Copies of this chain bind each other. A is one copy, B any other.
Amino acid sequence: MSLEFADPKSLDHEAIEEGETFAPRFDAHGLITVVTVEDGSGDVLMVANMNVEALALTLQTNIAHYWSRSRKAIWKKGETSGELQELVELRTDCDQDCLVMVVRQTGRGAACHTGRKSCFYRRVANKDGVVGLQDLGMPVLFNPQDIYGK
């Protein structure tokens, strides 16, 4: 049996922002943005989306599930790579249209498909109006070719 969530349209502004009813506000595509952070360090690992089914599966199984916009399918993170994410805590923001998910990253500790711990491995540098990227030197924990064959 799938979990059900309240419809935000059924709640007033005060109830959405200060209340105890979870009424996730999915966008026009039925998706909500999720910021996944590492338990302990609080480092941002990745940002992805959930639809209502992925959100329910995550809460029911305590394993992170997302919606893959490219594959148009439920995406059990780590199903291919072994890098499953165990749910520690889920938080909602003031207007309930965004989530922060605290996880324990299993496997080799790489949330990013490039093999790095985090997707945010480059800094934007603005030097006198010339903007470029600088690699932060995050270790590559697995070879994507070995896992994804490309």
Q: Are A131 and B89 in contact (CB under 8 A)?
A: no
Contact with B along A31-52 (1 / 0, CB 8 A): 0010101000111101100000
Which residue of the partner chain B has the closest CB to A2? Answer: B129
Q: Are B91 and A122 in contact (CB under 8 A)?
A: yes
Q: Are B33 and A44 in contact (CB under 8 A)?
A: no
A93 to B113, CA, bound (A): 11
Contact with B along A112-150 (1 / 0, CB 8 A): 111000011111101001011111100000000000000
A26 to B118, CA, bound (A): 21
Which residue of the partner chain B has the closest CB to A13? Answer: B150
A1 with B129, Cβ < 8 A, contacts A120-B91, A123-B89 known? yes
Residues in chain A within 8 A of chain B (CB atoms): 1, 3, 5, 17-22, 33, 35, 37, 41-44, 46-47, 59-60, 89-94, 98-100, 112-114, 119-124, 126, 129, 131-136
Q: What are 16 A-B pairs at a CB distance below 8 A?
A: A1-B129, A17-B114, A20-B132, A20-B133, A22-B124, A22-B132, A41-B42, A42-B42, A42-B44, A44-B44, A59-B126, A90-B123, A90-B124, A91-B136, A94-B112, A100-B120
